[in-house]
A and B are shown apart, each in its own frame.
Chain A
Amino acid sequence: MPTPPKGPRLGGGPAHERLMLAGLATSLFEHRRITTTEAKAKRLRPLAERLITFAKRGDLHSRRRVMTVVRDKSVVHELFTEIAPAMAERQGGYTRITKIGPRKGDNAPMAVIELVLEPVSPKQAVVREATKAAKKAAPGAEETAQTPGSAESAPSAESAPSAPSAEEPAESNEADAKE
């Protein structure tokens, strides 16, 4: 569980903060991407990720615990049936905060908080598998650890072009460099 934030609550008191965060979480799961202030986005992130963890568990008890925060039944249904399966492969880090600069009027730093719905990049999966294989194999037998790693990387490289969206985070930097 994330550590409780230091400093003042959002809004006028603890109850107000809970209400504000509940509203933000509901909007986030409804729209997948919301624009808010940086402070609110940072406070929302641990709550939203916890709710997604509950949704991934998927049983009635976890659904009731989510219902204590997100009061909208249709949004909870969407969270359990659509968002949770999309996050099945992901081990945490379900949300992403991007700063977009200060807003007109009160100069408050704004941010976009969104659900990370892209599939987990194959590159990371390959690295994880390779490290796992290296750990499994005895430290003396390095060659046996190398061969499964190279065998794993070849099919995943072939599968990558078939899923262009999966490659997006990895390729974006190259695309930027080309432009």
Chain B
Amino acid sequence: MAVPKRKMSRSNTRARRSQWKTAATVTSTCPRCKAPARPHQACPSCGAYKGRLYAEAIRSELQD
């Protein structure tokens, strides 16, 4: 089985991990309550999407 010949230096490890980033979530504004909401999804604060309400589903499924 192939194994590394050398210990990986701290510098190389950290250089690799420096590219390990997270991106900010894209949000848009809910037209009903003006809270930030993800595009193409029901608003998490008021549950509205295209004039329909999904607040109950959000309350029962997403919150503990």
Contact = CB atoms under 8 A, between A and B. Distances in A.
Interface of A: 33, 35, 98-105, 110, 112, 168-169, 171-173, 175-177, 179
Given A99-B42, A101-B42, A173 B51 contact: yes
Contacts of A177: 31
Contacts of A169: 50-51
A173 B31 CA distance: 9
Contact of A99 (B32, B40, B47, B51): B40
A101 B58 contact: yes
Interface residues of B, number: 20
B51 A175 contact: yes
Nearest to B51: A172
A37 to B, nearest CB: 10
B57 A35 contact: yes
Of A98, A100, A168, the most chain B CB neighbours within 10 A belong to A100
Contacts of B47: 100
Q: Do most interface residues of chain A lie in helix, strand or loop, or is the interface mixed?
A: mixed
Given A35-B60, A110-B62, A175-B51, A101 B32 contact: no
A101 B31 contact: no
A101 B62 contact: yes
A26 B31 CA distance: 34
Contact of A176 (B51, B57, B61): B51
Contacts of B62: 100-104, 110
A175 B42 CA distance: 17
A98 B50 CA distance: 10
Interface string B34-51: 000010111010010111
